């Protein structure tokens, strides 16, 4: 029995009112409404503030137990690592344990920054970190292409951890779908869609206006070469014209880079990736991090629709195939019986 979890990275966005949430919905009711549409949620506020078990359980209660939660690791474990990281790890584990006990913890997401390079020191730290979280569904996201290599896949699999399949712009240091492959490691196929807003990815100046040159090199499909057990990180330099008007605000935590609206054709690129992972018995988790303007919520709904439509067509195809097979078998039986009557004496 396959399992497909689809949702967004975060949910508490007031600008989603009238786009995803009903215009008159109170903010306190956002989570409950969200849980009636999606079956999974990636919690990102845990990155900025160390969560407590009470806080995380409240998410489960307010969603009436409908959601599976992927909880992003606190910055003290990925971006601001110090000698006392184990204390932070203990605090984080204590916070997520109740969700694990309720079978509502789908992943603990460790998203490392681009500055986290493939060095001996960092490899040792990562190994110790994963070991410290033994028993938890650990997923690791790398933002530097140096980490995308078979030895890393093998190391993660040996430690029962998984790697995140990212969709992001094709830029110098980010994993490039044309030349690098990201394999789904372990029981989970974790897909995180950040958008393809290349022009704003490195623009951090508060109040700066994004100036995007749309090269529209929409060749992600051509770059995608599926091999059994391995999926390519699909990327594109395509940029929506609307993104050029999106100004970065310091309070948005760099959200300008995630301002991107996937087209239906771009979303369809992921259908075979999801189907292959499900056929391999993976638990697929798919989260849209392109939250500005409600794009992530809209894209997540459309993605689910495309997958369900494809699954329905596959079922219809198999039914037709089975029907033809039955008809052929019936014809063969009739033929054999007629031959028997013709040549019997």
- Average pLDDT, stretch 236-240? 42
Query: What pTM, to 2 d.p., does this model score?
Result: 0.79
pLDDT > 70: percent of the chain: 73
Segments in 51-143 forming alpha helices (H): 53-62, 85-101, 120-132
The per-residue pLDDT for 235 is: 41
CA dihedral defined by 208, 43, 310, 168, rounded to 10 degrees?
Answer: 30
The per-residue pLDDT for 4 is: 96
From the list 226, 252, 282, 200, the residue with the least C-alpha distance to 14 is 252
What mean pLDDT value characterizes the chain?
82
CA distance 108 to 112: 13
> Is it the case that residue 146 has pLDDT exceeding 80?
yes
From the list 73, 22, 35, the residue with the least C-alpha distance to 11 is 35
> Is it the case that residue 245 has pLDDT exceeding 70?
no
CA distance 320 to 322: 5
Take residue 126 and report the two structure tokens written for it. 């990562």
CA distance 51 to 74: 8
- Average pLDDT, stretch 23-27? 97
> Is it the case that residue 223 has pLDDT exceeding 70?
no
229 vs 204 pLDDT, higher one? 204
307 vs 237 pLDDT, higher one? 307
The per-residue pLDDT for 242 is: 39
The per-residue pLDDT for 183 is: 78
The neighbouring-strand residues paired with 231 are 182
311 vs 199 pLDDT, higher one? 199
The neighbouring-strand residues paired with 165 are 191
Take residue 269 and report the two structure tokens written for it. 């690129």
The per-residue pLDDT for 246 is: 37
- Average pLDDT, stretch 225-239? 38
The per-residue pLDDT for 10 is: 97
The per-residue pLDDT for 182 is: 73
Going by DSSP bridges, is the β-strand pair 181-183/230-232 parallel, antiparallel, or unpaired?
antiparallel
Q: Residues 6 or more apart from 85 whose CB is under 8 A from it?
A: 76, 77, 125, 129
- Count CB-CB contacts under 10 A for residue 337: 10
The per-residue pLDDT for 20 is: 97
Could you report the per-residue pLDDT of 163-177, keeping only the tens digit for each? 999 999 988 899 854
Angle of CA points 151, 152, 154, to nearest 5°: 65
CA distance 91 to 132: 12
- Count CB-CB contacts under 10 A for residue 307: 21
The per-residue pLDDT for 228 is: 33
Q: Residues 6 or more apart from 228 whose CB is under 8 A from it?
A: 276
- In what helix (H) or strand (E) does residue 105 lie, and over which residues does it extend? strand 105-111
Could you report the per-residue pLDDT of 277-290, keeping only the tens digit for each? 999 999 999 999 99
SS3 107: strand
The per-residue pLDDT for 314 is: 55
Could you report the per-residue pLDDT of 248-265, keeping only the tens digit for each? 343 444 688 999 999 999
The per-residue pLDDT for 336 is: 58
CA distance 208 to 210: 6
27 vs 312 pLDDT, higher one? 27
- Count CB-CB contacts under 10 A for residue 37: 17
For the chain, the C-alpha Rg in angstroms (whole number) is 23
- In what helix (H) or strand (E) does residue 141 lie, and over which residues does it extend? strand 138-141
CA distance 245 to 158: 46
The per-residue pLDDT for 320 is: 59
The per-residue pLDDT for 203 is: 79
Question: What is the per-residue DSSP string for 148-202?
Answer: -SHHHHHHHHHTT-EEEEEE-B--SSSPPTTT-EEEPPTTEEEEEE----GGGTT
Could you report the per-residue pLDDT of 40-89, keeping only the tens digit for each? 999 999 999 999 999 999 999 999 999 999 999 999 999 999 999 999 99
71 vs 205 pLDDT, higher one? 71
The per-residue pLDDT for 74 is: 98
The per-residue pLDDT for 172 is: 86
């Amino acid at each position: 029995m396959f399992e497909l979890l689809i949702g967004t990275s975060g949910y508490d966005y007031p600008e989603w009112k009238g786009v995803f949430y009903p215009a008159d919905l109170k903010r306190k009711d956002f989570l409950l409404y969200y849980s009636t549409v999606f079956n999974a949620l990636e919690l990102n506020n845990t990155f900025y503030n160390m969560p407590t078990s009470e806080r995380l359980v409240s998410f489960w209660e307010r969603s009436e137990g409908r959601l599976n939660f992927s909880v992003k690791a606190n910055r003290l474990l990925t971006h601001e690592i110090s000698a006392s990281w184990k204390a932070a790890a203990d605090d984080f584990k204590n916070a997520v344990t109740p969700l694990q006990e309720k079978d509502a913890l789908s992943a603990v997401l460790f998203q490392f920054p681009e500055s986290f390079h493939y060095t001996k020191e960092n490899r040792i730290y990562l190994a110790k970190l994963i070991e410290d979280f033994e028993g938890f569904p650990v997923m690791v996201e790398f933002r530097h292409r140096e980490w995308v290599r078979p030895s890393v896949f093998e190391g993660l699999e040996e430690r029962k951890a998984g790697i995140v399949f990212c969709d992001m712009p094709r830029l110098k240091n980010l994993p490039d779908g044309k030349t690098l492959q990201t394999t789904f490691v372990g029981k989970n196929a974790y897909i995180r869609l950040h958008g393809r807003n290349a022009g704003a990815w490195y623009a951090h100046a508060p109040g700066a206006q994004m100036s995007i040159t749309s090269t529209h090199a929409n060749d992600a499909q051509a770059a995608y070469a599926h091999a059994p057990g391995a999926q390519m990180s699909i990327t594109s330099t395509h940029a929506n014209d609307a993104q050029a008007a999106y100004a970065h605000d310091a309070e948005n935590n760099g959200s300008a880079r995630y301002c991107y609206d996937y087209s239906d054709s771009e979303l369809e690129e992921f259908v075979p990736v999801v189907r292959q992972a499900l056929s391999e018995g993976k638990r697929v988790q798919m989260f849209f991090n392109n939250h500005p303007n409600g794009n992530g919520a809209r894209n997540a709904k459309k993605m689910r629709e495309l997958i369900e439509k494809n699954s329905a067509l596959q079922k219809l195809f198999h039914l037709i195939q089975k029907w033809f097979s039955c008809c052929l078998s019936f014809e063969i039986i009739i033929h054999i019986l007629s031959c028997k009557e013709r040549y019997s004496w």
